[in-house]
């Protein structure tokens, strides 16, 4: 616990020092558990320049790790129907939700890496939860292909070429299990996409969605603040949001 203390002292943090003061912790005594020294995080000396360059740089995140371009455009359209732009603010597309889902599918979540995927696989009761052998990235592959098939069958057009109302109809058929599929549960796929849409709209922009924190701004969510001691007992007030980026090296 104390071994990093020196380094931490050198790399001091104004923000955390201020909170330390506000929190009124006594200095001295047996400060175990890192309650004191550890409040000052690691700060990289070169950070300042780094951050500046980064702000000027292009966003190289806007590329694909998993989807094909066609899949990507379908997801962009489908998630926009789930979470459309309106008077409140941007929809899924402008929030970068499709990039978020693409990036998530290429990692642990897409591979169900931290979930129990051992056989045997049996169909269970609904209350026993997901019992399939397919991983999320496989479900997305199949689900998007079936979304396309259903669009062609119903309207003789690609999903992305349908008008909004038609896209909603196709998605509703999935949400309400009105499509016959043998491989995956249509509503299971739809619900996965719905959940991922909300995650992409409202997770830290670090994950490529919630672009510019616009998802948070739309609902007056302050994002990742260090503390609310000053406002907790007050009436509602809008606070400008912060993201995790603000906590690195400050």
Which 52-91 positions form the footprint of another protein (CB under 8 A)? 81-84, 86, 88-89, 91
Look at residues 113, 117, 141, 143 and name the one whose alpha carbon lies nearest to residue 130: 117
Q: How far is the CB of 125 from another protein (least distance, A)?
A: 7
d(CA 77, CA 71): 10
Q: CA-CA distance, 36 to 59, in Å (whole number)? A: 37
Q: Is 109 in the site for another protein (CB under 8 A)?
A: yes
Q: Name the minimum Å distance from CB 238 to another protein.
A: 9
Q: In whole angstroms, how close is the CB of 224 to another protein at the nearest point?
A: 4
**Least separation in angstroms between CB 143 and another protein:** 15
Beta partners for 223?
A: 242
Smallest gap from Cβ 74 to another protein, in A, equals: 16
User: How many chain residues interact with another protein (CB under 8 A)?
Assistant: 85
- In the complex with another protein, the residue whose CB is nearer, 34 or 50, is 34
- Considering beta carbons, is residue 14 or 58 the nearer one to another protein? 14
Q: Which residue's CB is nearer to another protein, number 6 or number 68?
A: 6
Residues 6+ apart with CB under 8 A from 158: 148, 151, 152
CA distance 151 to 132: 25
- Letters for 116-155 (x = contact with another protein by CB under 8 A, - = none) are xxx-x-x-xxxxxxxx------------------------
Judged by CB under 8 A, which of 9, 10, 12, 25 binds another protein?
25
User: Quick check: 165 binds another protein (CB under 8 A)?
Assistant: no
Asked if 199 interacts with another protein (CB under 8 A), we say yes
Q: Which two tokens stand for residue 146?
A: 């079936």
Report the distance separating Cα 137 and Cα 107, nearest Å.
Answer: 9
The pair of three-digit structure tokens given for residue 28, joined into one six-digit string: 């001295």
User: What six digits make up the tokens of 44?
Assistant: 């990289």
Dist CA 250 CA 234 (whole Å): 27
Tell me the C-alpha distance between 101 and 106, whole Å.
Answer: 9
For residue 244, the minimal CB distance to another protein (Å) is 6
Nearest CB to another protein, comparing residues 89 and 142: 89
């Amino acid at each position: 616990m104390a071994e990093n203390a020196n380094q931490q002292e050198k790399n001091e943090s104004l923000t955390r020092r201020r909170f330390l003061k506000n929190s009124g912790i006594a200095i001295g005594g047996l400060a175990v558990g890192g309650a004191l020294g550890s409040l000052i995080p690691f700060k990289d000396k070169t950070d300042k320049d780094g951050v500046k360059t980064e702000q000027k740089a292009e966003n190289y995140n806007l590329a694909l790790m998993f989807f094909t371009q066609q899949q990507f455009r379908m997801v962009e359209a489908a998630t926009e129907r789930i979470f459309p732009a309106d008077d409140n603010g941007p929809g899924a597309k402008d929030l970068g939700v499709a990039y978020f889902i693409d990036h998530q599918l290429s990692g642990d979540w897409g591979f169900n890496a931290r979930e129990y995927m051992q056989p045997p696989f049996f169909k269970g009761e609904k209350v026993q939860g997901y019992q399939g052998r397919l991983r999320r990235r496989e479900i997305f592959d199949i689900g998007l292909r079936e979304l396309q098939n259903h669009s062609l069958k119903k309207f003789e057009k690609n999903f992305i070429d349908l008008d909004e109302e038609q896209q909603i109809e196709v998605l509703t058929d999935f949400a309400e299990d009105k499509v016959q599929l043998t491989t995956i549960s249509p509503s299971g796929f739809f619900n996965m996409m719905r959940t991922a849409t909300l995650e992409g709209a409202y997770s830290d922009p670090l994950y490529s969605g919630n672009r510019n924190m616009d998802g948070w701004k739309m609902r007056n969510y302050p994002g990742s603040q260090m503390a609310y001691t000053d406002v907790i007992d007050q009436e509602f007030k809008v606070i400008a949001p912060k993201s995790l980026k603000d906590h690195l090296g400050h």
